[in-house]
Amino acid sequence: SEVQWSLSDGQSGGAESSITYGDCLNGASAPTFAPTSVPTFAPIVAPTNSTNSTNSTDPPTTAPNATLTTGGRRITEEVPLEERKLDDMGTSPAPSPFPTSLFAFKYAQCYAQYGEAYGFSAPPTHAPTRFETAPPTITPMPTTPVPSGSPTTGQPTGAPTYSQMPSHMPTATPVAGITMANSSSASVTEDGSTTTWSFTLVLDSEPLNSVTVAISTEHGSDRISLSTGTVEFDSSNYGTTQTVTVAGVDNNVDVGSSYQDYIFFEVTADDTCDNSATGTACNQKVAYNGYDSLNMVAVTVVDDDVAGVTYTEDSLASAINNYGDEYATASYSVYLDSEPTEDVTISTSGLGSWSSASPSTVTFTALNWDTAQTITVASTASTATRPVCSRARRYCDGLKGRSETLTNTVSSDDSYYADLSPTTMAVSVSVQYDTQRAPTIASAKFSDALNTLVVAWSATTNQGGLSGFFDCSEVFDGSTATDSYLGSGSACSWTTAAQLLVTFGTSPAILVGDELVLSETMVQSDGSVTSLFATNQTVSVAMPNNPTDPVAVMTAPDAVGLCDDLSIDASMTSGSGGRTMEYTFSVEDKLTPEITNVTAVFNETNSLNSGYGTYAVTVPSEQMTPSTRYEMAITACNFLRLCDSFSKSIFKMGSPAPLVQIVGTHPLYATYADDLSIRAEASLPNMDCVDSTVSNQMGFIWSETTGQYAGSLETKAPRVLNIDEGQLLANHEYEFQVVAYMLANPNLNNSATLQVIITEQDVVASIAGGSTRVAGTDTDLVMDGSESYDPDDDDSTSFEYVWSCYNTSTAMEACVSASSGSVLAFDAATNITIVAGELAVGTYTFELFVAKGHRNDTATATVIIVAGAPPEVGIAALSEDKYNPTFSSYAMLEGTCSTDDVSYEWSLVSADVSIDSVFTVTGGGSNPVYRAKPTVQVDMLTSGVTYTFRLSATDGYGVTGYSEINLVVNDKPSSGSLAVSPYTGYTIQTGFDFVALGWCDTDLPLTYKYAYTVLDDGVDLSTPTPLADELSSASLSGATLPVGTSGDTYNYTLTGQVRVYDSFRAFATSYDDFRVVPVELTSKQLRKASKNLTTEALASGNPEASLQAIGATHHQMAHMASSGSGRRALLATVSTEQAARMELLQTLEATFAMSDITEANMETILSSLEGILSEPSELTIDAEVQGMILTNDLLAEMVAEETTLSTTAYASAGSALSYLLDSDLFNNTMTSGHSKSGNQIEAVENMTQALKDMTTTVLFGASAGVGYQMWSHRITMHAIHEEAQYVGSI
């Protein structure tokens, strides 16, 4: 049977009753049909704006832009019912408030009342249809209730059931629609993190293809941000909601409590039908392109910014120092709390006149508002007087603390910042007092050597922040720190923090009783807090404690030939203190008639230099009586009026004889450990006063007259007797004699003697391991005195050893056993052992007294005992007592450790230089700071200062031990000068005199090395050419010198040089310029003059004079070669050029044969060889071969004698070999007239050996990490001495 459904709207008015706009919004969504037997559709969702209220019963004031939708689908067209599917109807998300039977009616009523202007489209005109299939069979509900417990068989059990569903359902036309939904009002917080807002989007109908919803905001990303800017839909996800999250953007600007932004939507779609994904018929899908019914959404942003200023401090505290200046400033930072729309300026004010804020204003902009700016408050004493307290006192009424107030005022055109009130801060100004008083000068006195002033201070100082040598005007008032007062070239240096050394320059004028005035603001204490300076103090210079008396030295022959003048030289007199000495020559008045003329000569000399006399005098031969002995004396007095005299008996011979004398101090004091070089000066006999001639061949015989000397008396240089150390015994006196005679007539002879006194040396006590080291309580402590030694090697007496120990932690009490409490006693042995645990933690001083008879010495070492067993570090004793602060002076440090696997690190204790700057470094090698055995460049250290080097070793557990050693840097000689005369002379012809006067040092005797440099472009004054070996004489006479460089720039100028060495080989250098002009000589004249000079020099046993003549000759050749016509006058033919150089080579070879192999001699010989070979085109093949052989022989003999090749000789050797490589000897192309005779193979062998010998000799005595480099136009050489383990990394 057919069941007829009926519906009622439940309203008394039935279908005819009126309807409100709110009812239409809630339920009058119109389907195309309102069937009577299918579910209803969803209510209308009015797309007006995001804040629509669904409860309103009034129509909007303006018609909405979008048409109404139903069930989430827009009504766009009518579709016949038979073409629809059940699923097109869908189910409503919420039931319609209208009864189903009234649906169409009510919708028609909404349309009639409000029309299309408010989104209601015309209702459909088609009539509803019935199901075309058989209706479902329904079992009727029972009409009578069934009693409880009654049987139910045959009775219906519940609601009627369908026997079947209809096979066709009426369908609705799908429409395009997008539903946006959200859970709350559109409001977010500005910071974007605490509160966000989100909404969802979903399509109402399946699209033909893809749909894109682009989402944007009115202000871009300035106010709000979106989790996505696009939402994509297609057939697979059109019914799935997609969420978009809206967050606020923090713009940092205070604009009030809130502001708005707007969200806009733009829909684009691909309306090409694609049913491959779901199979839905195209006519059941909808087109979305151009859909514009999603309205903008207003979003409220809650502002989280508040205009304000943050100050990092509420109050401030500054401080002033004892001097009255600022000590500690007070600072605070300021920044804005929000970004301003206009610049904001904060100004400070309110401080007193003795405090200031810097900067006084700060400005913030939109770019730097949140960047803190710092304002610093500085204060000074409330008076302009400095120091505040007089006489450098620390406390006085004028130096007090105080309180002030600082005000910060904000100004801006930004209204939110313009309204801010000023902020005040309390400022407290305190006084920071120095931890100790400013130092004062305790004394200033001459040193014993008289060449320095020792300025002692009342306390340790900050050294004025100065290190090394500096101008004394840095410390003393300018009027007392001038060159005229302290000497030209004077300098100051700190030897300790409480002692300043003033080293005089040349010709100082300051005397005992004169004053030094201290600069006001330079020297302070070295306390932890210090501001006061040593005041403008005046100190009077005092006498030295033990002034060095002058030592008068007279150099003169024992006898003088009949025709010879007598020359007496006192230039070696010491004790001048760098001042002009007063010299007085005299002769004893025993033979009145014979001394009258001599006395007259002496008186004239003594009257020179305003009565100060001069150091040298010459008595003409005719003023002396033949066959007469004179007792002549010299008295020398220094500026302190301390005097010394020396007398000598001189015999005037009745016949001609060679002149001979031994230069140096008479007698000569030396020790067993000294190498001695006894040098004689000699000249051929003068035969002018007799009718006779003599050959120029002279011989020399050396002897020791006491018979105590058993060593060799053989000499290579005839005038020089060298005696190695250990040959002369302590406490012995020797007399050495040299006899000079003429080979053709031995009866023409003369002699000179020298008394040599060998003094005792004290034994040297030494404790191995360093001056200070760390040991542990858990290990035995061994104190080793085996490095003590006797420098006199006296085996007749044994060493005695006495050990002592003192606890420096307890006022130097004797060391006690930690276990028994008794005083520790030690054996009289070389080494002692203190067993583990016997010494408690603390600092101990061990003292070793060693003696051999009356000779003794004491050594001390500090041991710091710590808990546990740290690595035991030791440092070997240094090889020298003093090291020289000069170029190429090095000290090797050798550290050891009881543990193998440790890391080393060197440091300096309280030094004026950094540890990194004092060690040598080879390219690519490891950092020497972390080596056990680094090398110190002593020239990086300050003269006269003792440096403490510490070696720390850290094991794998992080436990560290260390040891220390002291390195004493020697003072070099000072206060002297060099004078060369005459100022202008001729090469070859003029004899130049070099005099070095006024040199002072505590380590005597001094020696002198004279040299010259021909000034030219690129010349290096550090590599001069020596004129002679080192001399004990302060003068050198009659030197033959080369011509200078022509032209206006140099004008034939040479620079004379003297290096003055003390006994430890520290040296100082002085210079003097003079001119050597060329001579107008023909080729024949030059060769003859050169030949005469060299022949006479060699005949008289004077190789230095021969080398001088060779050097002058090849320089003159080079000068004339560059002067055009002069060269043609000198060297008319090629054979003459070749012969000249060959002659020089032969002379050089003969000179080398009688020269000692010393550093200075080799410098001169190699320099001459370089000059001779410098024109390879002027060398014959024989000269080339001889030059190669001579070079090889020179270097080979240096290797044999273990003589160091100096940097000067290194460069000369490299240049000489380079010139040989340029010659035909190493040229495979034959030169016309040259015959190589198979010499090339030998030359290559010699060249190879010479290069090898160069590297060997330049590294003699070099410490690890020391290297030398040589460049010439053919050869570049790098010679480096390095530990084997580091060689591979160079």
Mean pLDDT of 784-794: 95
SS3 at position 163: coil
Are 712 and 678 within 8 A, CB to CB?
Answer: no
Cα–Cα dist 327/379, whole Å: 8
Are 684 and 564 within 8 A, CB to CB?
Answer: no
Would you tell me how many other CB atoms lie within 10 Å of the CB of residue 1034?
28
Instruction: Supply the DSSP string of 1200-1227, one letter for each residue.
Output: HHT----HHHHHHHHHHHHHHHHSGGG-
Are 319 and 355 within 8 A, CB to CB?
Answer: no
Query: Does the pLDDT value for residue 779 go beyond 80?
Result: yes
Over residues 448-491, the pLDDT tens digits come to: 999 999 999 999 999 999 999 999 999 999 889 999 999 999 99
Give the pair of three-digit tokens for residue 5.
């459904």
- pLDDT value of position 1137: 79
Over residues 333-370, the pLDDT tens digits come to: 999 999 999 999 999 999 999 999 999 999 999 999 99
Are 1036 and 994 within 8 A, CB to CB?
Answer: yes
Phi, psi (5° rounding) for residue 768? -65, 155
Mean pLDDT of 821-839: 95
Mean pLDDT of 627-635: 94
Query: Of 1172, 1248, 1162, 1178, which is closest to residue 1210 (Cα–Cα)?
Result: 1162
pLDDT band at 185 (very low <50, low <70, confident <90, very high): confident
Mean pLDDT of 844-864: 96
Over residues 644-701, the pLDDT tens digits come to: 999 999 999 999 999 999 998 899 999 999 999 999 999 999 999 998 888 889 999 9
Q: Give 103 or 565, the one with higher predicted confidence.
A: 565
- pLDDT value of position 1125: 43
Number of alpha carbons in the 13 Å side-chain half-sphere of residue 1141: 27
Cα–Cα dist 260/266, whole Å: 20
Give the pair of three-digit tokens for residue 711.
């060593």
Average pLDDT across the chain, whole number: 86
> How many Å is the Cα radius of gyration of the chain?
56
Would you tell me how many other CB atoms lie within 10 Å of the CB of residue 1152?
23
Phi, psi (5° rounding) for residue 614? -145, 165
- pLDDT value of position 96: 43
Cα–Cα dist 646/589, whole Å: 16
Q: Which of 67-76, 989-998, 1076-1085, 1191-1200 has the lowest mean pLDDT?
A: 67-76
Amino acid identity, position 418:
A
Are 1033 and 570 within 8 A, CB to CB?
Answer: no
Are 681 and 660 within 8 A, CB to CB?
Answer: yes
Would you tell me how many other CB atoms lie within 10 Å of the CB of residue 1076?
25
Are 524 and 513 within 8 A, CB to CB?
Answer: no
Instruction: Supply the DSSP string of 755-809, one letter for each residue.
Output: EEEEE----B---TT-SEEEEETTS-EEEE-TT-B-TT--TTS--EEEEEEEEGG
Q: Give 92 or 573, the one with higher predicted confidence.
A: 573
- pLDDT value of position 382: 93
Cα–Cα dist 463/524, whole Å: 7
- pLDDT value of position 106: 64
Over residues 193-210, the pLDDT tens digits come to: 668 899 999 999 999 999
Query: Does the pLDDT value for residue 222 go beyond 50?
Result: yes
- pLDDT value of position 454: 97
CA distance between the termini of the chain: 115
Using a 10 angstrom Cβ sphere, with 0-12 exposed, 13-18 middle and 19 or more buried, the burial of residue 473 is: middle
In our burial notation (b when 16+ CB lie closer than 10 A, e otherwise), range 698-719 reads bbbebebeeeebeeeeebebbb
- pLDDT value of position 1283: 80
Crossing angle of helices 1181-1201/1207-1222, nearest 10°? Answer: 150
Would you tell me how many other CB atoms lie within 10 Å of the CB of residue 312?
11
Residues listed for the chain? 1290
DSSP state at residue 590? T
DSSP state at residue 309? E
Cα–Cα dist 1055/1038, whole Å: 16
Mean pLDDT of 1195-1209: 93
Q: How far is CA 796 from CA 777, 790, 799, 1277, in A?
A: 41, 11, 10, 51
Phi, psi (5° rounding) for residue 773? -150, 165
Query: Does the pLDDT value for residue 951 go beyond 70?
Result: yes
Over residues 1017-1058, the pLDDT tens digits come to: 988 888 899 999 999 899 999 999 999 999 889 999 999 999
- DSSP E strands in 944-1085: the ranges are 946-954, 960-968, 977-981, 984-986, 992-997, 1007-1014, 1025-1026, 1035-1039, 1053-1061, 1067-1077
Would you tell me how many other CB atoms lie within 10 Å of the CB of residue 930?
11
Cα–Cα dist 20/15, whole Å: 14
Query: Does the pLDDT value for residue 88 go beyond 60?
Result: no
Are 222 and 250 within 8 A, CB to CB?
Answer: no
Whole-structure pTM value: 0.72
Query: Does the pLDDT value for residue 131 go beyond 60?
Result: no
Give the pair of three-digit tokens for residue 47.
């797309």
> Between β-strands 643-652 and 559-560, what pairing exists: parallel, antiparallel or unpaired?
parallel
In our burial notation (b when 16+ CB lie closer than 10 A, e otherwise), range 627-666 reads ebebebbbbbbbbbeebbebebebbbbeebbbbbbbbbbb
Are 313 and 374 within 8 A, CB to CB?
Answer: no
